[in-house]
Structure 1
């Protein structure tokens, strides 16, 4: 968390946003939130120069511009739209965190209120996991660092973003974990989709807290369950809704793994790339995988995140401590060689 930093936002023109999204065409829509839609598009990057006059001068002078991928959050539904708009700006500029996408600009023209967020350079964790070969490049230590980054971002949301009440993300899943430089994870898209349950499909439902599915009441603990599913995905090297899991259980990886977490069978789901690697067409034992203590610590906290009863789930602060212990055990393994 980087407190005290001056955060300067760009003020985007509605006309530019309309062109970039072709008048908010559904072609560019990447999700829904409680008060409207979110679109992915490209806009000119002015390095956070907020003055429209400055931008116009920049254009006239012929200075080179770069295009940047952004997520455009259009707030168009509900009451007190302007109030919600300014509250979100205040909240997102009060604290900045390396594991959360940054608010980079806004538009407030007529009745249109729009927030513009960064869109990380390496797509999403979902995209990354869809190509199983990608995970071959990640050691156990690198995977733990990725898990820790997501955990720290989520803890920041739960405990630091509002002095008045705890914030719930509401839609933690791999598609909403963007990957930046060096595959650093950034949490994105607060509250998209879960407010529109009729639009959900298997790729979303596999992350749902069973208690939320029964009650339709979203809680902090719902985020923690969903994060537990992501821990499993990184552990297995596959998406929770991969057909290999859905064919066995329509609720996906978490439902399969929870029974295995009780009897130790979960270890059979460990990404085989962490156990074996191919060198010159020969399969040999890999040195990239976890040691026993690191693995046991990781699986213990994953099991707790996936508890059926919300009251039994840990806080994100506890999750972070356990993941750090797992990483320390792995570091000891490396040093002792």
Structure 2
């Protein structure tokens, strides 16, 4: 796995992640590919708030999630943009597959779109800014990642748009993404 070798500078020992998340007790969300925990991790000499996505251990036999894990590392270690969530590290020890991202204080956009969320309504001006941020992230993936290819997200939805402490929107969850050819009049993806 040359990808793992190329990205070894992002490797974080499991014991450090376990300590940062207080033994995975600070659950902040869960999805199809595992639970997400909040933590405080020492990276480059600074204590940083992080979100830690831990793939379930039952994936060790089926391999489900491994491809998505590797895709996230591949794409987010290569491509940086203010409107893409930043990958800060990963762990691939024994049966553990863990991704470490920058922490998004306000979580995912879907939490604020529900009509039942009367506790906090996002003003329309802020909603438009969030839409523009998400569009910038998608534009980067589709048109600016490299000269001869584009990234097709394939799972864009409000739960995969994260909001930081300044309400800046960041595209996340690139595990299902595909790299396609750029500069073509038409593009399509056939998935079986």
- Per the normalisation by structure 2, the TM-score is 0.64
Q: Which residue of 2 aligns with 1:95?
A: 79
Structure 2 gap segments, 5+ residues each? 1-7, 177-189
Q: Which residue of 2 aligns with 1:108?
A: 92
Identify if the C-alpha distance between structure 1 residues 184 and 29 changes in structure 2 by more than 3 Å, giving closer, same or farther: closer
Checking the alignment, whether the CA contact within 8 Å between 2:54 and 2:96 is kept in structure 1 is: no
Equivalent residue in structure 2 for 1:43, among 39, 42, 66: 39
Matches within 5 A, 1:115-264: 115-130=99-114, 131-132=117-118, 134-135=120-121, 138-139=123-124, 141-161=125-145, 165-191=149-175
Identify if the C-alpha distance between structure 1 residues 148 and 91 changes in structure 2 by more than 3 Å, giving closer, same or farther: same
Q: How many residues align?
A: 164
Flag the structure with higher strand content.
2
Flag the structure with higher helix content.
1
RMSD (CA atoms): 3.9
Cα distance in 1, alignment partners of residues 174 and 75 from structure 2: 13
Structure 1 gap segments, 5+ residues each? 1-7, 55-64, 193-216, 219-337
Task: Please state how far the C-alpha of 1:111 moved relative to its aligned partner.
Answer: 4.7
Identify if the C-alpha distance between structure 1 residues 21 and 173 changes in structure 2 by more than 3 Å, giving closer, same or farther: farther
Higher relative contact order (CA 8 A, sep 6+): 2
Equivalent residue in structure 2 for 1:78, among 63, 81, 84: 63
Checking the alignment, whether the CA contact within 8 Å between 1:16 and 1:43 is kept in structure 2 is: no
- Per the normalisation by structure 1, the TM-score is 0.39
Task: Please state how far the C-alpha of 1:116 moved relative to its aligned partner.
Answer: 1.3
SS in 2 for 1:167: strand
Identify if the C-alpha distance between structure 1 residues 143 and 43 changes in structure 2 by more than 3 Å, giving closer, same or farther: closer
Task: Please state how far the C-alpha of 1:31 moved relative to its aligned partner.
Answer: 1.3
Q: Which residue of 2 aligns with 1:12?
A: 12
Identify if the C-alpha distance between structure 1 residues 38 and 100 changes in structure 2 by more than 3 Å, giving closer, same or farther: farther
